[in-house]
């Protein structure tokens, strides 16, 4: 991407979008455009079409999405499938119709089957049943990547699709109702430390294994692939290693400095038993993650402490 090219980042206030804006600025890009929800409702086709017709972005990063953890997906399934289908359909179509040179669609590793072979390769998509607790979001994301592939095949539109693993970092959602596991645990341990609570309860058995990628690493991978990847096939973005939720809780407890007990609530769902991405396609193109998990959690906790009312 030329440094003076007009680049539209949809979802610039979110965890991923804000990281991509930071990475673009650090790389010297000078024409980054963004819009808040009040300025352009991405679920409204007319507003999106009007925005693209007037701004004519040359490159588009589709990081806008309605996201959340197990609980949020469980209680608001209609919102998760409806809003995400509308957002991505509106943006992909408007980008093509208004001459964008390239679009990057950000999916999620939850698109893969619940019991996919581990580590999960890109070709495992649609080979089995989804995890029920987030199927609404996953179905929407699968539709998005398929739309990118369809527009490439029928119209020659250069759209690529990245499938990131579990993300975390500065600007994450730390709300205990809708947050993903890592930021939720950071907040739980932090509040328990402040209040002197004798124990912290963690959802599930602690045995599921997860892979975690710092969002700044995802941003760097996104820029790398915008410059070096032009294929229809989806591409996984992750670190290639995972840990159990119990191990994650231990690391967070140590970083936060909480001295109480940790208990596991087995009445709460575990979700997918394991979700580790095979990132050999990405590493084979010359990119690997650079931020270690402990380093990333420590910096994220520092951001949370400095930006949270807790």
State the Cα–Cα distance between residues 37 and 35, nearest whole angstrom.
7
3-class state of residue 64 by DSSP: coil
165 is in an annotated binding site: yes
State the Cα–Cα distance between residues 205 and 267, nearest whole angstrom.
9
- Catalytic, out of 8, 59, 112, 137: 137
271 is in an annotated binding site: no
Which among 292, 279, 263 is positioned nearest to 165, based on CA atoms? 279
210 is in an annotated binding site: yes
190 is in an annotated binding site: no
Residues sharing a CB contact under 8 Å with residue 306, sequence separation 6 or more, in sequence order: none
| Range 50-83 burial, b when 16+ CB lie within 10 A, else e | ebbeeeebbbbbbbbbbbbbbbbbeebbeebbeb
Provide the pairing of β-strand 159-164 with 235-237.
parallel
299 is in an annotated binding site: no
114 is in an annotated binding site: no
178 is in an annotated binding site: no
259 is in an annotated binding site: no
167 is in an annotated binding site: yes
Provide the pairing of β-strand 159-164 with 102-106.
parallel
CA angle 182, 185, 186 (to 5 degrees): 85
206 is in an annotated binding site: no
17 is in an annotated binding site: yes
203 is in an annotated binding site: yes
State the Cα–Cα distance between residues 299 and 19, nearest whole angstrom.
14
Q: Give the number of C-alpha atoms closer than 13 A to the C-alpha of residue 136, restricted to the C-beta side.
A: 21
101 is in an annotated binding site: no
128 is in an annotated binding site: no
In whole angstroms, what separates CA 72 from the centre of its chain? 15
Asked if 137 is an active-site residue, the reply is: yes
185 is in an annotated binding site: no
36 is in an annotated binding site: no
Cβ 221 vs Cβ 237: under 8 Å: yes
213 is in an annotated binding site: no
Cβ 168 vs Cβ 297: under 8 Å: yes
Residues constituting the chain = 310
- DSSP category for residue 10: E
14 is in an annotated binding site: yes
Feature table: binding site for substrate: 188, 203, 210, 270
Annotated binding site: which residue ranges?
A: 11-17, 106-109, 141, 164-167, 180, 188, 203, 210, 270
Residues annotated in a binding site for NADP(+): 11-17, 106-109, 141, 164-167, 180
Q: Catalytic residues, which ones?
A: 137
């Amino acid at each position: 991407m030329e440094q003076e090219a007009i680049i539209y980042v949809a979802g610039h206030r979110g965890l991923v979008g804000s990281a991509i804006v930071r990475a673009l600025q650090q790389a010297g890009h000078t024409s980054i455009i963004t819009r808040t929800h009040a300025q352009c409702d991405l679920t409204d086709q007319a507003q999106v079409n009007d925005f693209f017709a007037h701004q004519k972005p040359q490159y588009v990063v589709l990081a806008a999405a309605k996201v959340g953890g197990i609980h949020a997906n469980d209680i608001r399934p209609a919102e998760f499938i409806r809003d995400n289908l509308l957002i991505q359909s509106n943006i992909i179509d408007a980008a093509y119709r208004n001459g964008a040179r390239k679009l990057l669609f950000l999916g999620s590793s939850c698109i893969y089957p619940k019991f996919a072979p581990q580590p999960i390769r890109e070709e495992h998509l649609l080979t089995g049943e989804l995890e029920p607790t987030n199927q609404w979001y996953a179905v929407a994301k699968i539709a998005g990547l398929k739309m990118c592939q369809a527009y490439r095949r029928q119209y020659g539109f250069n759209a690529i699709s990245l499938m990131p693993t579990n993300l975390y970092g500065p600007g994450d959602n730390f709300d205990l109702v809708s947050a993903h596991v890592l930021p939720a645990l950071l907040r739980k341990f932090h509040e328990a430390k402040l209040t002197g609570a004798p124990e912290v309860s963690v959802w599930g058995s602690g045995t599921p294994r997860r892979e975690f990628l710092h969002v700044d690493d995802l941003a760097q991978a996104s820029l790398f692939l915008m410059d070096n990847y032009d294929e229809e096939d989806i591409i996984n973005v992750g670190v290639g290693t995972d840990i159990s939720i119990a191990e994650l809780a231990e690391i967070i407890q140590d970083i936060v400095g909480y001295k109480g007990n940790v208990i596991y609530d087995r009445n709460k769902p575990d979700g997918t038993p394991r979700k580790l991405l095979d990132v050999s396609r990405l590493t084979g193109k010359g990119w690997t993650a650079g931020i270690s998990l402990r380093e990333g959690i420590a910096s994220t906790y520092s951001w949370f402490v400095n930006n949270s009312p807790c």
